[in-house]
Structure 1
Amino acid sequence: MSRTHHHGFELPKLPSLLRHALPRFVEGVIAPVAVFYAAFALLGLNGALVAAVTWVYGGIAWRYLRGHQVSAMLVLAALGVTVRAALAAATHSPVVYFLQPTLGTLLVSMAFLASVPLRRPLAQKLATDMVPMPEAFLRHARVRQFFLRISLLWSLVFFANALFSLWMLFNQSIGTYLWVRTSVVALLGACAVGISLFGFRRCLQHVNREPALAA
């Protein structure tokens, strides 16, 4: 008697992934920068801080009114923005507002890096949060090796992001920082996503070509 263990997995189509990710990217990256900068240009620092906080809590209220789930992560993010805005208002410095998330990015880079020697790649955890994958597939040696390498890649991306952001923050105007930094970070992220998807597809091709194991 034989048992078949198939570790194959099919990645959702790219348009489907983009439809899922693009609105979140616009909402979480592009829109906050546009709101803050527009308010900063028209109303000054305090007006920009109020606009940033209003944007975040408005997003939470919009989800709640539409019957969508408000995640604990989103609530924590809103509290973080509130604290950042309060500190920036108290010090009258927009640098303080942007310094905290930049340091947070540096910590994320360290977390990705630390997950590699621990053999618990953070890239795998994030990928399975977005696209559920079977355990048999995730246990495959080639898949585990892929996620370890991608965790290293994202550690480098976040580290470069943090260093560039810090340099921009202390050497350029806030307007230049907002748009140039956002553009560079988006480009770095897009390249890393492209490399990740390309590598994952190649990994899938190798794994799915292997015959199912029989016992």
Structure 2
Amino acid sequence: MDDATSHPHLHPHLHRPHTFELPRVRALLLHAAPRFIEGVIAPVAVFYAAFAVLGLTGGMIAAVAWVYGGIAWRRLRGHPVSATLLIAAVGVTVRAALGVVTHSAVIYFLQPTLGTLLMAVVFLASVPLGRPLAQKLATEMVPMPEAFLKHARVRRFFLRISLLWSFVLFANALVSLWMLFHQSVGTYVWARTGLVVGIGAVGVVVSVWGFRRLLRHVNARPVPA
């Protein structure tokens, strides 16, 4: 059975090739939650659990082992590797390499920022390559019809959103760098979190608003006979 028939609640209006509607929030959350937990929550939880017992080096090694073990497990079972998990792999690799070499508190807090900078570059590079990372992430969270994704306006939207998120991540990284070198560690930990979440929230709001606007435009166009 193909994905479209096995998950009809995630693929409404497939009989109209260029239309697409957002699924219900509950269906969206059920589909996206496992990927978010696997690629975002679990690596952080594994790191802090190992860090409490084994120290910085042990925490880094445990996080790397979790992420790359998950990738290997998916490959062995013939399942696709999610973009969220690939992003986690990039982040933990950078953090582990610097953490193991330096054992510096400043470098330790610098690592997530370097990972953010790297992801900003990846988002930015995906635009001229014509393979927007925002589209890959979005389709993992909300499966979309292939014909909808081939629509010229949809392609332009995901290119622009990838560019937007490269700027969001660059802004997060610059704020983090400034606070790390100009504020106390305590201030950095608490204030940076709020600022980064705030900047990210703006990106999310703009992305969702733009996508809903895109859907209204694409779905309103008559389907050629």
**Normalising by structure 2, what TM-score?**
0.68
Q: Deviations over 1:105-129 (max 9, x none)?
A: 2232233223333333221122123
Establish whether residue 155 from structure 1 lines up as the match of residue 166 from structure 2. Answer: yes
- Once the two structures are TM-superposed, the CA of residue 207 in structure 1 deviates from its matched residue by 1.2
In structure 1, C-alpha distance between the alignment counterparts of 2:121 and 2:62, rounded to whole Å: 29
Q: Deviations over 1:8-58 (max 9, x none)?
A: 11222234444535756972698689x59x96xxx9xx95x2684487379
| 1:32-181 equivalent positions in 2, closer than 5 A | 35=48, 47=55, 49=56, 52-53=59-60, 56=63, 73=86, 80-89=94-103, 93-181=104-192
Identical-pair percentage: 52
Q: What code does the residue aligned with 1:85 have?
A: G
- Once the two structures are TM-superposed, the CA of residue 140 in structure 1 deviates from its matched residue by 0.9
Q: Cα–Cα, structure 1 residues 16 and 54, in superposed 2: closer, same or farther, change >3 Å?
A: farther
Q: How large is the Cα RMSD of the aligned pairs?
A: 3.7
**Counterpart residue number, 2:10:** none
Q: What code does the residue aligned with 1:87 have?
A: V
Give secondary structure in 1 for the equivalent of 2:22.
coil
> Contact (CA 8 Å) 2:95, 2:111: kept in 1 or not?
no
- Once the two structures are TM-superposed, the CA of residue 165 in structure 1 deviates from its matched residue by 0.9
- The unaligned stretches of length 5 or more in structure 2 are 1-14, 76-80
Of structures 1 and 2, the one scoring higher in RCO (CA 8 A, sep 6+) is 1
Q: Cα–Cα, structure 1 residues 120 and 162, in superposed 2: closer, same or farther, change >3 Å?
A: same
Q: What code does the residue aligned with 1:182 have?
A: T
Structure label with greater radius of gyration:
1
Establish whether residue 199 from structure 1 lines up as the match of residue 203 from structure 2. Answer: no
> Contact (CA 8 Å) 1:53, 1:81: kept in 2 or not?
yes
Give secondary structure in 2 for the equivalent of 1:213.
coil
Q: What code does the residue aligned with 1:171 have?
A: H
Aligned residue-pair number: 197
